[in-house]
Amino acid sequence: MDREIEEFITYLHNIKKTSANTEISYRRDLKKMAEFLKARGINEAAQVKDLELQGYICYMERENFASSTISRSVASIRAFFQFLVKKDIISEDPSENLKPPKVEKKAPEILTVEEVDQLLKQPDLSTPKGIRDAAMLELLYATGMRVSEMLHLQISDVNLQYGYVVCQENNKERIIPIGLPCKKAMERYLGEARESFVKDENETALFINCSGKVMSRQGFWKVLKGYASDAGIKRDITPHTLRHSFAVHMLQNGADIRSVQEMLGHSDISTTQIYLGANMNKMRDVYMKSHPRH
């Protein structure tokens, strides 16, 4: 089954233009399924029946895999077998009746505006590293972009004259405006600090680490953890926390959900709507204070 899995990953990459992270997830999910089936004497995709796949899902539930992990695996398995049917590698889809467990959507972890302010004050602006870190933090909170998107930015993607950045990933492009604090932080980084990190004069990546390489996700995670600790934020925040905070704070201050959806790059508005839940408490307070018949 390994050959079919690799054919499927190639199809995702070449035809669907999926991201590297998506392909890694699909491959991992399908390899685990294949290992489970192989241990039960099933080596070919054509041998797989509905009952074996149901057994695999039951196994994951018995082993206490998270519901979100099982749901993602079900999605990977169904996409894989649909591909095999489409390519006439198998005649029937054994995953047709496979159902994911219900996943309770939790409200995302967000920072208060005050916590964000404290976080953004932490970098030491007397050093190139502090100037760079301030620019990264300001940019993430100003745009709500994913960390991977920020780290893929090139210098040419930033237009400080008109105050926007061009975010490009998976052959999709969106333009996100930035506010004055972010613009100033970016100007200072590009004008005073970036050059001290660059080892190769042909390097076009926007954010560079101390080794002269493109800043990595792990590198940024360490930067964020350090400043969160310095700011006295006790919660276990992640780089995605700034994205969540951006979305909720925008909605709390009157942004319409369609605009937030566009800035976040969500293809489906239902993904953006999860932030409305985090916004409900403020809406309820406003209602109780303002409605004459509350």
How distant is the alpha carbon of residue 253 from its chain centre? 23
Interatomic CA distance for residues 39 and 47, integer angstroms: 13
First-residue to last-residue Cα distance in the chain: 62
Interatomic CA distance for residues 153 and 169, integer angstroms: 9
Long-range contacts of 179-182 (CB under 8 A, 24+ apart): 179/142, 181/120, 181/138, 181/142, 182/135, 182/138, 182/139, 182/141, 182/142, 182/143
Provide the pLDDT for residue 283. Answer: 47
Provide the pLDDT for residue 294. Answer: 46
H or E segment and range at residue 79 = helix 67-86
pLDDT, one tens digit per residue, over 173-228 is 888 889 999 999 999 999 999 999 999 989 999 999 999 999 999 999 999 999 99
pLDDT, one tens digit per residue, over 226-261 is 999 999 998 888 888 888 888 888 877 777 777 767
Count of C-beta atoms within a 10 Å radius of residue 52:
15
pLDDT of 279 strictly over 90: no
Residue 161 pLDDT level (bands cut at 50, 70, 90): very high
| 233: nearest Cα among 140, 119, 122 | 119
The structure's pTM equals 0.59
